[in-house]
């Protein structure tokens, strides 16, 4: 970064907010923002940074918004009335549809870049993908990319529409499969002595999903392509329900295409 910035992290007491605090502390002066000043002070003491409420974003150069998806739009609206001219707001919402409305309401004196770290509260930026959606970057983009490079992140730039469409495949479809499997097995307790090696791996992955279940269900509901994605999955299940020879041949062709695009290409 060009100079040591002051960074406010709204929602800095939550899971992803705490990741931001820990990762950004070596590069900036951090203030944890919470609705409760007592909670903000508790976590600021834990991390050795400042704590405050939303009004204390008024002196920050960069404001990260790490709140639930359904609260992002309202929180940003409030920040528009508080932050100083020339500052940058960065939300980390996993769904970007709210940006279409915010884009029309963004004051001239404020910059805005939306960011999606593709990891959960147990992760870190190093070697993980981070998606950036510039709304009005006013020369902040290169500085943000430099900061993320320092953190070891792998950054990509996209649009609102492309982000939510791709995430409907990578997050909505992926997580939905786990949720349906859990629902399917919920009324059939099976002894662990019958668990296969691959099923044990599935259970380990599910533990990570269950840990972030509220956020995952929010994504299912808020992604504008979510219902369409789940409907397409339902249609595929019905299509291959018999698994006759013709269906198997078609399925094998699709698996071959999947392997080429998602496995071989990324080896």
According to the model, what pLDDT value does residue 46 have? Answer: 96
For the chain, give the percent of residues with pLDDT over 70. Answer: 98
Band (pLDDT 50/70/90 cuts) for residue 2 is: low
Domain extents for the chain? Answer: 5-158, 162-266
pLDDT digits (tens, 9 = 90+) for 197-233: 999 999 999 999 999 999 999 999 999 999 999 999 9
Say which residue the tokens 């943000």 belong to: 144
According to the model, what pLDDT value does residue 3 have? Answer: 76
Q: Kindly state the average pLDDT of the residues 134-158.
A: 96
Question: Model's pTM, two decimal places?
Answer: 0.93
Q: Kindly state the average pLDDT of the residues 56-63.
A: 97
According to the model, what pLDDT value does residue 264 have? Answer: 79
CATH 3.40.50.720 fits 5-158, yes or no: yes
CA torsion sign for 142, 146, 148, 149 is positive
Alpha carbon of 71 to those of 2, 77, 81, 225: distances in Å?
31, 10, 16, 20
- Under 8 Å between Cβ of 63 and 77: no
- Under 8 Å between Cβ of 99 and 160: yes
pLDDT digits (tens, 9 = 90+) for 65-87: 999 999 999 999 999 999 999 99
- Under 8 Å between Cβ of 76 and 66: no
């Amino acid at each position: 970064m060009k100079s040591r910035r002051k960074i406010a992290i709204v929602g800095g007491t939550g899971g992803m907010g705490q990741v931001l605090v820990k990762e950004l502390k070596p590069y900036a002066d951090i203030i944890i923002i919470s609705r409760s000043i007592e909670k903000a002070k508790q976590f600021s003491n834990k991390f050795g940074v400042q704590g405050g409420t939303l009004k204390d974003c008024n002196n920050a150069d960069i404001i990260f918004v790490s709140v639930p998806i359904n609260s992002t739009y309202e929180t940003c609206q409030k920040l528009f009335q508080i932050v100083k001219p020339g500052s940058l707001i960065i939300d980390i919402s996993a769904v970007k549809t709210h940006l279409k409305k915010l884009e029309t309401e963004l004051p001239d004196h404020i910059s805005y870049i939306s960011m999606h770290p593709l990891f959960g509260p147990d992760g870190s930026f190093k070697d993980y993908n981070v998606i950036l959606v510039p709304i009005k970057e006013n020369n902040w983009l290169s500085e943000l990319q430099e900061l993320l490079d320092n953190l070891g992140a792998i950054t990509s730039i996209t649009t609102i529409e492309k982000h939510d469409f791709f995430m409907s495949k990578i997050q909505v479809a992926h997580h939905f499969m786990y949720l349906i499997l859990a629902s399917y097995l919920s009324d059939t307790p099976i002894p662990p002595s019958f668990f296969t090696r691959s099923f044990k791996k599935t259970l380990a992955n599910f533990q990570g999903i269950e840990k972030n279940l509220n956020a995952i269900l929010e994504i299912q509901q808020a992604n504008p392509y979510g219902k369409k994605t789940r409907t397409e999955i339902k249609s595929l299940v019905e299509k291959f329900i018999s698994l006759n020879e013709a269906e198997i041949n078609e399925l094998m062709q699709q698996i071959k295409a999947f392997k080429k695009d998602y496995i071989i290409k990324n080896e």
